Amino acid sequence: MPSEEEIRTAARILAASRHAVVLTGAGHSTPSGIPDFRSPASGLWERSDPMVVASLVGFHRNPRAFYDWIRPLARQMVKAEPNPAHHALAKLEQLRVVKAVITQNIDQLHQKAGSRRVLELHGSIRTATCTLCGDQTATDEMWLSFFDSDELPRCRSCGAVLKPDVILFGELLPEAVLLEALSEAEQCDAMLVAGSSLEVYPAADLPARAVGNGAKLIIVNYEPTHMDSRAQVVLHEDVAMALPQIAERIAINEPTQ
């Protein structure tokens, strides 16, 4: 249970900020039933080799292996609902405290919760692109059809295999989104890291960029991160418990800006 003083300090930093941004990772969505990738006992990479099932080279070599691996994860993402941490960030955006959510997640839960400015560093499951002709399509029907039939999703124009627009190992991040995220990190005066182990780069470098430019740092994550020593507040807590408390304390003192 986070202490009242820690919650109060985090809320004070965010409420006093001119430009606060948030970086979220897999731990932000685990309360919604979506497993993370690196937890020692339950992480997805404990059971699968990411270079085989989730690399760009692996996908082109054997798309069936990728789709067999992502099937249960995609099913969980499609049916998942935002948890209290997602709703807390959407509330902070409504209060004009949070200016942007930078996320490593591909599950669309920030948008479902009502966050409007979401920078998806690792893409999302909402669209897919043809590996041959490049046509892009929404995936609502694609996923449902795949869950029912087990047939590889194929392009309606040319019949080639569709690749979901998620970033695989060996694939470059979307340049425009990355540049926007870097800009947000460099101009913010407060950054909240929520549910990220800060182990995957370049996302893991964003808090250091923010702090290097004078921003205050708040970290909410079960496990320690390499940035804990540079943060004003560190909560090794469940994001679904801590973030609503921070948002509620800020909301009580409206208007913030």
Catalytically annotated residues: 122
* Residue in this structure with the two tokens 């964003």, named with its chain if needed: 206
Distance between CA 3 and CA 199 in Å, rounded?
27
Give the integer Cα–Cα distance in Å for 39 and 123: 22
Strand, helix or coil for residue 118: strand
Query: DSSP character for 55?
Result: B
Give the CA distances from residue 16 to residues 58, 210, 213, in Å, rounded to whole numbers and listed in that order: 47, 16, 17
Of the chain, the end-to-end C-alpha distance in Å amounts to 29
The two three-digit tokens of residue 164, written as one number:
């979901």
